[in-house]
Amino acid sequence: MRISNDWKDYECIDAGNGEKLERWGNVILRRPDPQAMWYTEDYSKWKNVDGFYHRSKSGGGNWEFFSKLDEFWTIDYKGLTFKVSPTGFKHTGLFPEQAVNWDFMMDKIKNSNRKIKVLNLFSYTGGATMACSKAGADVVQVDASRGMTEWAKENMILSHLENNSIRFIVDDCLKFVKREARRGNKYDAIVMDPPSYGRGPNKEVWKFEDNIYKLIESCMEILSDKPLFFLINSYTTGVSAIVLENILKTTILKKYPDGAVDSGDIGLPITNNNLVLPCGIYGRYQSND
């Protein structure tokens, strides 16, 4: 497992009983987490929270706030600044476990000794975009949500990257990739975080198990002659990291054998009991240079 343990402004204080207790800067939030299946007995740190997301039995839920919070606040990670704001779907606009993937990409870009062009698909609020841009890459990010794209633009400004080469595209990811192939555009690195299920801006249906392989195949057509990395992140329940590894081995590694593929879990360290909260899976191809 790869663990995001370099945060200063974020902390998973505790987890258990289907919930997690987190510090976002100076704000303490309590949220559901289906991975926290173990039982925790010490609830002393769970009492004084600023916000508590209550899960509804019929689906969804709502926030209950015990402190007057700003509409949004910011947290920093290695020179990057991100907007944090509790949303109606329990999320905050940032997945802190992804920092371990940001570190990987930033390191590869900084040590590549060439200009790298990155494509970020299903980019959400642009965490990977900002990391790659900070490392010196030109970035194109694509997401079907206009609202999330505007949030990503705010993160760009907060991180002082507005003078860097970043393009924001609101589009269906598969359609965009196919158009890029027809245009003859190429990318040295691709990162994606495809959802389990979703719809594009024109109601295009995305289903992970039905569409992931055809998306990877389409991405093969827009990779440059020397791809630096290809990273897939997933939160889809029931999908093993080995599935992502097998897909990459039968597509990218087959075409670019001078590289390596690995996969696994990503997680967050839990301060209160030295456990690790599993948060998703990854599969990645990386060049050997």
Q: Are residues 124 and 50 in the same domain?
A: no
Say if 92 falls within a structural domain.
no
CA–CA gap between residue 4 and residue 34 (Å, rounded): 19
- DSSP for residue 129: H
Per residue in 22-46, pLDDT (tens digit) is 999 999 999 999 999 999 878 888 9
Residue 99: pLDDT band (50, 70, 90) is very high
Compute the Cα dihedral for 148, 154, 158, 159 and give only its sign. Answer: positive
Q: Are residues 38 and 142 in the same domain?
A: no
Q: Are residues 282 and 159 in the same domain?
A: yes
Q: Identify which of 197, 194, 187 has the alpha carbon closest to the alpha carbon of residue 215.
A: 194
The proportion of the chain whose per-residue pLDDT surpasses 70, expressed as a percent, equals: 100
pTM of structure: 0.93
Say if 89 falls within a structural domain.
no
Query: Strands (DSSP E) along the chain, which ranges?
Result: 2-3, 10-16, 19-24, 27-32, 51-55, 61-65, 73-77, 80-84, 117-121, 138-143, 166-170, 189-192, 197-199, 205-207, 229-234, 259-269, 276-287
Domain that holds residue 65: 2-78
Task: Name the β-bridge partners of 32.
Answer: 19
Please measure the distance between the N-terminal and C-terminal CA atoms of the chain and give it in whole angstroms: 24
Q: Are residues 192 and 242 in the same domain?
A: yes
Say if 66 falls within a structural domain.
yes
* Dihedral pair phi/psi, residue 98, rounded to 5°: -70, -10
Per residue in 69-78, pLDDT (tens digit) is 999 999 999 9
Say if 276 falls within a structural domain.
yes
Q: What is the mean pLDDT of residues 145-171?
A: 97
Say if 87 falls within a structural domain.
no
